[in-house]
Amino acid sequence: MKRLRRSIRICALVLTLVMMLPMVYGGYSLLRYGTRWRTSEYNTYLPSIKSAITAGSIYDRNGVRLASTMEGVNAAGETVRTRVYADDESVRRAMVHVVGDTRGNVKNAAESFFSEYLYGMKAGYLERLLRLGSGREHGDDITLTVDSALSAYIASVFPKGKNGAVIVMNYKTGELYALCSFPEFDPAGSTVTLSQATNRATRWYSAPGSTFKIVTLAAALQNIQNAEGRSYLCTGGVAFGEHERTVSDYHNEIHGTLTLKSAFAQSCNSTFAILASEMGDKTLRRTAEAFGVGDDFTFRDLVVENSAYANSDQTLMGADLAWTGVGQNQLALTPLHMCMITAAVANDGVMMEPRLLLSVVGAGGTQRLGFESAAYRTAMTPEIARTVNEYMREVVVNGTGRNAAVSGLRICGKTGSAEIDTQENENAWFVGFIDDDAHPYALCVAVAEGGTGGSVAAPVAQKIFQYMNGRLY
């Protein structure tokens, strides 16, 4: 009898745990993914809220109004609300992937992702009662970290007719000053293609090319004894195994004998292929993961696609691993993530979470939310970060990134030319930063099928740095 009662108690306990598991997971998911759920297009409660509330306005960091609601009355005496965007078309187009549009073409833009603020869902019960009593059903106004003038300028200097993205962020605070995607479109227009609606800054995957050598370099400095003191011989390519393919340098260029710093500055594939092969997949993968590759990004202010290193069931060896070390193979990173990696170098190894929300002000004028920065992870030690910093400076002074140099600024950077199918069809990359505590800005320029990073992406970065140097932030 005792055995039967004990069995019943165990069964009851197991049944209780099974019933509680969905509730616990639901609570965890609500805390972790709550904003994504509440702002989802599948949330049937949201349309009813939108029909009853006048949405708040959206501003950039300098007070430029990016979106607002006009109210009117139709012939039937009903209140009609119309969402309108910035007066300047160049600003509307440059900001559309950050702000969004009324038809929801851009997924997870501010119009949808911050709808709980814009439509007053964060207001307390007393505030809602007062709002009802006044007859003004008005949501919160939000201010974003972005600079619309900077974004419009970036759009004006980005290669015409090309797809891609440009990100500018404060590497100390994580504030996003620009989050530009190309091609853009006018939210006041009537037609939008899928290509225009896609936010390439946060959703476009590409092998990052030689910009990934930042990660390989950090791994080598940490794991290979005397990596800086060795000499490296480049003969234009390295063959791995009898039946393996060769890892070649751009146009089979021969760099000769190099130091690690000069190999990085000249973006020597042979050297970094050898380094990756020496370290092995486990070591390089571990360093990539330290930089956030493979993470489940659940940032507070925006949705970013997760980056990928390689399939977990694939054993990387030979040329596959070597090509990973130079930024090719199965690597897939977004431009925003590459900007975060670059920012971590500038910030003594600390990677900041990208932030887009500067402040939220309620309809009554009360500040509901202020800016808060948040460290995302530590990617490397300050000592290694400082060494990588010096190497990136050499890239701009004497290497492949000379076209990004700006007189009077200490620019550090890295070029990348990610092969799509041949060396004549490449995605052009440049990542870099101003090494100055008074101007702590990092950027990423990615041009799809644009050519080489040094000749296409670096000059765009130079113009952006020059523009920012002429403004006060």
How confident is the model over 253-310, as pLDDT tens digits? 999 999 999 999 999 999 999 999 999 999 999 999 999 999 999 999 999 999 999 8
- Say which DSSP state 365 is in: S
Question: How large is the average pLDDT for residues 83-93?
Answer: 96
* Cα separations in angstroms, 130 against 57, 135, 139, 436: 20, 9, 13, 48
Listing DSSP states for 101-158 in one string gives -TT--STT-HHHHTHHHHTTTT--HHHHHHHHHHT--B--EEEES--HHHHHHHHHHS
Query: What range defines the domain where residue 421 resides?
Result: 209-356+371-469
Contact indicator for 72, 82 with CB cutoff of 8 Å:
yes
Give the model's pLDDT for residue 5: 63
Which one-letter DSSP state was computed for residue 57? P
DSSP 456: I
Q: Can you count the helices (H) and strands (E) in the chain? A: 17, 17
Percent of the chain residues topping a pLDDT of 90: 70
pLDDT at 264 (0 to 100): 98
Three-state helix/strand/coil letters over 377-445: EECCCHHHHHHHHHHHHHHHHHCCCHHHCCCCCCEEEEEEEEECCCCCCEEEEEEEEECCCCCCEEEEE
Q: Per-residue pLDDT tens for 131-144?
A: 555 556 789 999 99
Average pLDDT value for residue range 191-201: 93
Q: What is the mean pLDDT of the chain?
A: 88
Burial of 89-107, coded b for 16+ CB within 10 Å and e otherwise, reads ebbbbbbbbbbbbeeebbb
pLDDT at 32: 47
pLDDT digits 0-9 by tens, 15-44: 665 555 544 444 444 444 455 545 555 555
Kindly state whether residue 107 falls inside one of the protein's structural domains.
no
Q: How many CB atoms lie within 10 A of CB 164?
A: 28
What mean pLDDT comes out for the span 385-414? 98
120 lies in a domain? no
CA–CA separation, 276 vs 451, rounded Å? 25
Q: What is the pLDDT averaged over residues 147-163?
A: 98
Is residue 308 situated within a structural domain?
A: yes
106 Cβ contact list (under 8 Å, min separation 6): 96, 97, 100, 197, 199
What DSSP assignment string belongs to 209-259? GGGGHHHHHHHHHHHSTTTTT--EEE-SEEE-SSSSPEEE-GGG---EEE-
Q: What is the pTM of this model?
A: 0.88
Segment 65-90 mean pLDDT: 86
Other CB atoms within a 10 A radius of the CB of residue 159 amount to 18
With respect to residue 320, please indicate whether it lies within any of the assigned structural domains: yes
Q: Backbone phi, then psi, for 165, in 5-degree steps? A: -160, 155
308 - beta bridge partners? Answer: 332
pLDDT of residue 473: 59
* Residue 334 belongs to some domain of the structure: yes
Residue 18, domain member (yes or no): no
Q: Is residue 201 one of the residues assigned to a domain?
A: no
Question: Which among 441, 119, 458, 113 is positioned nearest to 304, based on CA atoms?
Answer: 113
Number of alpha carbons in the 13 Å side-chain half-sphere of residue 107? 15
What element of type H or E holds 336?
helix 335-346
Q: Are 57 and 69 in contact (CB under 8 A)?
A: yes
Q: What does the pLDDT read at residue 25?
A: 41
pLDDT value at residue 120 = 87
Which CATH number does the domain housing residue 310 bear? 3.40.710.10
Domain contains 198 = no
Rounded CA-CA distance 400/214 in Å is 14
Report the domain count for the chain.
1
Q: Partners of 239 in the beta sheet?
A: 246
